[in-house]
Amino acid sequence: MGINMEAEQPGYDNQLEKIEINLLLEGIYQRYGFDFRNYVYSSIRRRIWHRTRVENLSNISALIEKVLHDHQAMERLFGDFCIHVSEMFRDPSFFMTLRTKILPLLKDKPLIRIWHAGCATGEEVFSMAILLCEEGLHDKTMIYATDMSDKIINKAKQGVFPLSRMKLYTQNYIKSGGTRSFSDYYKVVGDNAIFAPSLIKKVIYAQHNLASDGSFNEFDVIICRNVLIYFNRILQKKVFKLFYDSLCIQGFLGLGNKETIDFSDVAYCYDNVNIKERVYRKFK
């Protein structure tokens, strides 16, 4: 994203800085409905200072005024706040766990519902769709792919990824237990790989904010990987309650390898399916 990691201005009052940041985040919530108030402070602080400098402003108070009165300025700051780093079959061993340990337990269900929360630009959604095709479950599975950014959702729908990434994605696919030639799933147009639209015929894309929105369905599998690391403990606990409310009994939750439900209020409701891959199963 090119964020300047030098966060503070020399000599800037730390107490004043915290007040300004809190006012900015509260103002964004009140004005636009986006809730960043419980994101990890150090991360959100760096991004605020980055946007302050890029906008040629001298302090955060000036950024508050600009963001609240200029919708385009808010869009630019929103882009700084949203982290969209992903790749296809990222952490192949996680997808191997899905293939060998989870999907076989769902084969007898008449309808499977999967929620990709924080789907970013769609790489993992397409990965899941490919996996479902190869396991014979694609036609009876609905995937709900959500993100807080409409712009990112629209990009995810396209299924267009840089051709330069296909070598890595092919390696990931093979390590995840892929059974076909990975190139069968896309065509090359210029510098891009365009994935078959049929892969996402069973995908519903929607805007959803984990920080402020509620449950909207009951799911057999929820995948939310490397999103919660940007939330503080207060917001993480809130999201884990949301996931609990959204999972059916015997449903599965998959997290990133640096995330855990162990500290949450609902941890006792889950069994560890695979500790290394952060896969849990709700039993009550």
All structural domains of the chain with their residue ranges = 14-81, 92-282
Sequence-separated contacts (24+) of 92-96 with Cβ below 8 Å? 92/172, 92/173, 92/174, 92/175, 92/176, 93/175, 93/176, 93/276, 93/277, 94/176, 94/225, 94/254, 94/257, 94/277, 94/278, 94/279, 95/127, 95/131, 95/172, 95/176, 95/177, 96/175, 96/176, 96/177
Distances (CA, A) of 220 to 198, 236, 243, 247: 22, 21, 11, 6
Cβ atoms of 138 and 237 closer than 8 Å: no
Q: Beta strands 112-117 and 141-147: pairing type?
A: parallel
Paired tokens of 61? 């108070």
Query: Which pLDDT value is given to residue 4?
Result: 40
Q: Which residues pair with 204 in a beta bridge?
A: 144
What letters, b where the CB count within 10 A reaches 16 and e where it falls short, cover 100-127?
eebbeebeeeeebbbbbbbbbbbbbbbb
pLDDT tens digits in sequence order for the chain, 284 residues long: 344 434 456 567 889 999 999 999 999 999 999 999 999 999 999 999 999 999 999 999 999 999 999 999 999 999 999 877 789 999 999 999 999 999 999 999 999 999 999 999 999 999 999 999 999 999 999 999 999 999 999 999 999 999 999 999 999 999 999 999 999 999 999 999 999 999 999 999 999 999 999 999 999 999 999 999 999 999 999 999 999 999 999 999 999 999 999 999 999 999 999 999 999 999 99
Alpha carbons 46 and 7: distance in angstroms, whole number: 5
Q: What pLDDT does 13 receive?
A: 81
The CATH class, in words, for 92-282 is: alpha beta
pLDDT of residue 2: 40
Amino acid at 184: D
The owner of tokens 């084969």 is 107
Nearest to 122 by CA among 99, 88, 94: 88
Residue whose pair of structure tokens reads 């108070």 in the numeric block: 61
